[in-house]
């Protein structure tokens, strides 16, 4: 259920960006946008959120999601749309907006969806040194010998 909710959030996020950029400015049909959103959501969720995010963290996963969504949107828009002028610019803008939202989505994924109990049980306890003070007596013979040298 957690993954279904996360997929729904991601799908809505990607659909809004694609609808606003490709629907308004590029004249894409609603069906093309929904199909592109489904494909990009599935690919980005599996590769970016389930594979890359737990292993590398938020920053690297966001950068990887930018590249992945750019190429996926660019290839899909080239396949589905008849007017292919300036698709690279529209794909870059869409990938940038999606990546901004992905940074927030990744924190949601780490806190609510991904299971962190395995990582916590495998880490060793934190080392906390205990500092102690040692008092010693100096021997007069040793200090006199050192002074003579």
Category of 138 on φ-ψ map: left (φ > 0), alpha (ψ -120 to 50) or beta:
beta
Residue closest to 87 by CA, chosen among 146, 22, 19:
22
Max CA distance (Å), the chain:
98
The per-residue pLDDT for 147 is: 67
Place of tokens 């940074």: 103
Task: Provide the 10 A C-beta neighbour count for residue 139.
Answer: 9
Which residues make Cβ contacts (< 8 Å) with residue 83, sequence separation at least 6? Answer: 26, 27
The per-residue pLDDT for 75 is: 93
Which residues make Cβ contacts (< 8 Å) with residue 122, sequence separation at least 6? Answer: none
Beta strands in the chain (DSSP E): none
Query: How far apart, in whole angstroms, are the C-alpha atoms of residue 46 and residue 26?
Result: 28
Q: How far is CA 10 from the centre of its chain?
A: 13
For each of the chain's 149 residues, which pLDDT tens digit applies?
A: 888 999 999 999 999 999 999 888 888 889 989 999 999 999 999 998 889 988 988 899 999 999 999 999 999 998 888 777 788 899 999 999 999 999 899 888 888 888 765 444 455 566 666 777 766 666 666 666 666 66
């Amino acid at each position: 259920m957690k993954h279904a909710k996360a997929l729904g959030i991601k799908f809505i996020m990607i659909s809004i960006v694609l609808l606003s950029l490709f629907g308004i400015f590029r004249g894409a049909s609603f069906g093309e946008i929904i199909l592109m959103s489904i494909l990009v959501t599935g690919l980005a969720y599996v590769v970016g959120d389930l594979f890359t995010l737990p292993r590398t963290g938020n920053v690297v996963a966001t950068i990887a999601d930018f590249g992945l969504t750019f190429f996926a949107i660019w290839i899909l828009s080239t396949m589905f749309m008849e007017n292919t002028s300036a698709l690279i610019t529209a794909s870059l803008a869409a990938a940038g907006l999606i990546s901004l939202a992905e940074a927030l989505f990744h924190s949601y994924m780490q806190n609510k969806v991904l299971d962190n109990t395995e990582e916590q049980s495998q880490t060793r306890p934190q080392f906390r040194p205990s500092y102690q003070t040692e008092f010693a007596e100096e021997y007069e013979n040793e200090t006199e010998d050192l002074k003579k040298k």
